[in-house]
Structure 1
Amino acid sequence: MDDADRAIAERVHVVASTAAPELAAKTWYGMPAYANADGKVVVAFKNAGKFGQRYCTLEFQDPAHLDDGDLWGVGFAIARWSDAVEQRVTELFRAAVA
């Protein structure tokens, strides 16, 4: 990972460790991910450089509890880290494991 992507990934890891400590960090397809007690990936991080994109993505898999009616977001772009981004990512991790 390049330095900018690594910095975002490290902040995601801090949030995951504090907001959803029941998730276990693992590598999934060569990228950081967080799995539940059953070993199923709940959240995965994709760095921008790996796919030549202009942003990293935080992707919530099927075990995440983000359901909101018949339509809800499962992928979120992260272009830069900020306090507002950290707050939203924290909320998403907490909801995913609720």
Structure 2
Amino acid sequence: MATKKADKDADNLAAVLEKIPQMFGEDADIGLRMHDIILQAAPELKPRLWYGMPGYARGRSKPVLVFIRKDDYLTFGLTEKANLLIDESTPDNLIPNAWFLKTDLNEATEARMAEIVRAAVG
């Protein structure tokens, strides 16, 4: 049983690592760095494809908490299953759950992403 689970986890990881260069194109190095940041911040997360994009969940049959994608912008986001950061001090009822990356990753952006991931997995 453990071997099948390990094999499935390895297959899922391979699928994500194959998808990132396809999806991110010339920004593949940024996509791979985003992948690394997520897994370094929360090593318990298991990567898998989720609606055709890299997603990260606590296990194979658990809901995806964090995802990355590339359309016009690089996107880093959380699903409704994540431990969302709710700022009670704001007058609105909006909860931030996705961020566009303007340019290349820098140290501050990497640190903020890691902080968000750690909070998301609670």
Greater fraction helix: 2
**Aligned twin of 2:74:** 56
Tell me whether 1:15 sits opposite 2:33 in the alignment.
no
Runs of 4+ in 1 over 6 A off after TM superposition: none
TM superposition score normalised by structure 1: 0.84
**Aligned twin of 2:114:** 90
Tell me whether 1:46 sits opposite 2:64 in the alignment.
no
- Looking at both structures, which has the greater relative contact order when contacts are Cα pairs under 8 Å and sequence separation is at least 6? 1
**Aligned twin of 1:81:** 105
User: Quick one: which of 66, 69, 84 aligns to 2:84?
Assistant: 66
TM superposition score normalised by structure 2: 0.69
Q: Which residues of structure 1 form unaligned runs of 5+?
A: none
Deviations 1:38-92 (A, max 9, x none): 52000111113xxxx1x11111001111231343200100122111110110010
Q: Which has the larger radius of gyration?
A: 2
- Report the 3-state secondary structure (helix = DSSP H, G, I; strand = E; otherwise coil) of the residue aligned with 1:72: coil
- Report the 3-state secondary structure (helix = DSSP H, G, I; strand = E; otherwise coil) of the residue aligned with 2:85: coil
For residues 56 and 24 of structure 1, what CA distance do their matches in structure 2 show? 21
For residues 82 and 14 of structure 1, what CA distance do their matches in structure 2 show? 14
Q: Which residues of structure 2 form unaligned runs of 5+?
A: 1-22
Pairwise CA RMSD: 1.4
Tell me the amino acid that sits aligned with residue 33 of structure 1. G
Greater fraction strand: 1
Q: Is the 8 A contact 2:56 2:65 kept in 1?
A: yes
Tell me the amino acid that sits aligned with residue 42 of structure 1. L
Aligned pairs, number: 92
Tell me the amino acid that sits aligned with residue 94 of structure 1. R
Q: Percent same amino acid among aligned pairs?
A: 34
